[in-house]
Amino acid sequence: MRLSLYSRGKRKYNNAMILSHRTSENGGISGSLIAIIGLIILVLGAGSLAVWAYLNYMDQKTNVDNKVSLAVAEAKKTQGDSDAAKFFEQEKAPNRLFVGPEDYGRLTFSYPKTWSVYVAADVTQGGAFTAYLNPVTVPPVTGNQQYALRVTIEQQDYDTVLQQYDGLVTGGQLSSNVTSANGKTGTRFDGSFVDGIRGAAVIYKIRDKTVTIRTDADTFKPDFDALIKTIKFNS
């Protein structure tokens, strides 16, 4: 009887110990699992942050590279345009000398060597002398064609020629100013002469004749302003 009670007590003790041991193992396993899961989450989070940072860096780098490339391209274009403009100006020098008929006051002036000259009228028998100048080639002579420069020496009185522009000056299409060349006073007009012709002209009296030198486009104004400073003629 005593042995039986002892045996029963021992079995209860062993069962309690086993249960306690299993509970301890389960607790240990659960804690480790939680720690591992937490570590995995941290690693994944850190990895995601690293990927986001890298992608953001690459995006910013691409933007910077694009801006740098654009700035370099614009700088090259600006430099190229500047070099082309300088080359174009250098190509026009040294200037050539235009010489009009001796009987018409021997009008002379310097013009860019890249321009061509076309004399449209032979004045050996009298009449008006006309010449046209234009870069490279001179287009066919028509009423509304633009030229870098046109020269007309008419057998008309100076005041009579000026009266032809009175209406345009009064209407505001042209402005009128006093100019001078070769020690002589003349008149300068700036503005719109006819449809499609907007530029500048200078008019001088040469003996019993009148010379009109005109540019048909504001594009040629710098060349025109330089050219009229070199005008000479026999008075």
How is 82-101 classified by DSSP, letter by letter? HHHHHHHHHHT-SPEEEE--
Checking if the pLDDT of 27 tops 80, the result is no
Position 215 scores a pLDDT of 97
Position 90 scores a pLDDT of 55
Q: May I ask the CATH class of domain 96-228?
A: alpha beta
Confidence of residue 11 (pLDDT cuts 50, 70, 90): low
Q: What is the pLDDT of residues 205-214, one digit of tens each?
A: 999 999 999 9
The residue with greater pLDDT, 176 or 51, is 176
Residue 72: CB atoms within 10 A of its CB come to 10
The residue with greater pLDDT, 185 or 45, is 185
Rounded distance, CA 165 to CA 189, Å? 9
Helices (H) and strands (E) in the chain, counts: 4, 9
Confidence of residue 196 (pLDDT cuts 50, 70, 90): confident
What's the average model confidence in pLDDT over 18-46?
A: 65
Checking if the pLDDT of 8 tops 90, the result is no
Position 30 scores a pLDDT of 66
* 135 Rama sector, left if φ>0, alpha if ψ -120 to 50, beta otherwise: beta
What's the average model confidence in pLDDT over 142-149?
A: 90
> Domain map of the chain by residue range?
1-91, 96-228
Rounded distance, CA 133 to CA 151, Å? 8
Rounded distance, CA 115 to CA 135, Å? 4
Q: What is the pLDDT of residues 42-90, one digit of tens each?
A: 777 777 777 787 787 787 877 777 777 777 666 666 666 555 555 445 5
Phi and psi at 122, nearest 5°, equal -90, 125
Confidence of residue 1 (pLDDT cuts 50, 70, 90): very low
| Closest to 120 in 3D by CA, of 106, 109, 110, 134 | 134
